[in-house]
Amino acid sequence: MNCKEFVDFIMAYLNDELPAGERAEFERHISDCPPCITFLDTYRKTVDLERRAYDDVEVKRPSMAEAPETLVQAILAARRKGGGGGA
Amino acid sequence: MTRKAAHAHPEEDDALVRRLRAGDEAAFEEVVRLHAGRLLAVVRRFLPREEDARDAVQDAFLAAFRALDQFTGSARLSTWLHRIAVNAALMKLRARSRRPEEPIEELLPRFHEDGVLADTPRDWPGGADALLEKEEVRQTVRRSIDRLPEGYREVLLLRDIEELDTEETARLLGLTAGAVKVRLHRARLALRTLLAAEMETGTP
């Protein structure tokens, strides 16, 4: 397995979806290729960072999620015009 | 869509939905004020143009108000609205005249002819926890997600941020499960390239 194949297989490896033979080759490559160790580490870090990049909007900082008044009024007006349900 | 903010207890959801079904004008305003801001934040990830994002949130509320009978209480009201808003965002993306797909190749890692990495990756200082404590890192990650070509960004958002599974993502986007996997991996690789430029210097 070369670096290109290694990179192609990273997601399947992390999802534990690689067949045993390819998994063994993947692990053999990484034991012998420091750049790919770093690549795998930074790929993992990328996923960690992006998955949590919006957490603060939804959990920590509700103030960031305040609705603009113009939007609230536009939605309510559209509903009254018959765009939305309710009685 | 499993880990969404809780704004109300289920009993409060039920009471609010009962008032909505009865056509209580104040209840409509209450639900919009309670949820519109958060839904706008969600929808903006898919639709960077503010006007598109606001239209999608409005579409989502109108669709939800029309579908009140379908709200069963098995999901929280916030979760139900969230799902409708993501659908509205995707519909808006589809409806817009699609620009030709931007290529992602230039953001993917490069290799020599023999398959060896052309650029030697360098370590990023700090763990994800420590990095996410810094507001500027968060902003960098979000800006970088915004820079991904649309067809890849939407897969990354649905799979990694909205936490939908591969099959559901494939269904929503009209792709095969295999295509979703390929796009997700490429989106992450491209994001890694964008972040590497910031992280390797140690001052994102």
The predicted pLDDT at position B94 comes to 84
Whether B6 has its CB under 8 Å from any CB of chain A: the answer is: no
The predicted pLDDT at position B203 comes to 52
Work out the average pLDDT over A69-80. 94
Helix orientation angle between B135-147 and B177-199, rounded to the nearest 10 degrees: 130
The phi and psi torsions of A5 (rounded to 5 degrees) equal -65, -40
Whether A23 has its CB under 8 Å from any CB of chain B: the answer is: no
Whether A11 has its CB under 8 Å from any CB of chain B: the answer is: yes
The predicted pLDDT at position B6 comes to 45
User: Cα(B95)–Cα(B10) distance, rounded to whole angstroms?
Assistant: 35
The predicted pLDDT at position A56 comes to 75
Tell me which residues of chain B have a pLDDT lower than 50.
1-7
Whether A84 has its CB under 8 Å from any CB of chain B: the answer is: yes
Render pLDDT for A3-31 as a digit per residue (tens, 0 to 9): 999 999 999 999 999 999 999 999 999 99
**Of the partner residues B29, B64, B120, the one whose CB lies closest to the CB of residue A35:** B120
Chain A residue numbers with beta carbons less than 8 Å from the beta carbon of B132 are 49, 52-53, 55
Instruction: Quote the ipTM score.
Output: 0.86
Contact B124 A65 (CB under 8 A): no
User: Cα(B113)–Cα(A83) distance, rounded to whole angstroms?
Assistant: 59
Type of residue at A23: R
The predicted pLDDT at position B159 comes to 97
Whether B138 has its CB under 8 Å from any CB of chain A: the answer is: yes
Work out the average pLDDT over A47-54. 95
Number of other CB atoms surrounding residue B105 within 10 Å: 10
B126 — alpha (psi -120 to 50), left (phi > 0) or beta?
Answer: left
Residue A60 has pLDDT above 50, yes or no: no
Q: What is the mean pLDDT of chain A?
A: 88
Burial of B135 (0-12, 13-18, 19+ CB in 10 A): exposed
The predicted pLDDT at position B72 comes to 85
pTM: 0.87
* Confidence grade of residue A86 (pLDDT, cut at 50, 70, 90): low
Beta bridge partners, B117, equal B111
Chain B residue numbers with beta carbons less than 8 Å from the beta carbon of A53 are 132, 138, 141-142, 145, 161
The predicted pLDDT at position A55 comes to 85
Decide if B172 contacts B1 (C-beta within 8 A). Answer: no
Work out the average pLDDT over A41-66. 80
Whole-Å CA distances, A84 to A4, B52, B135 = 52, 19, 38
* Most A CBs within 10 Å, among B1, B19, B38, to test the A interface: B38
Residue A87 has pLDDT above 50, yes or no: no
Whether A48 has its CB under 8 Å from any CB of chain B: the answer is: yes
In terms of residues, how long is chain A? 87
User: Cα(B32)–Cα(B60) distance, rounded to whole angstroms?
Assistant: 11
Contact A53 B142 (CB under 8 A): yes
Whether B195 has its CB under 8 Å from any CB of chain A: the answer is: yes
Decide if A75 contacts B61 (C-beta within 8 A). Answer: yes
Number of helices (H) and strands (E) in chain B: give both, helices first.
9, 0
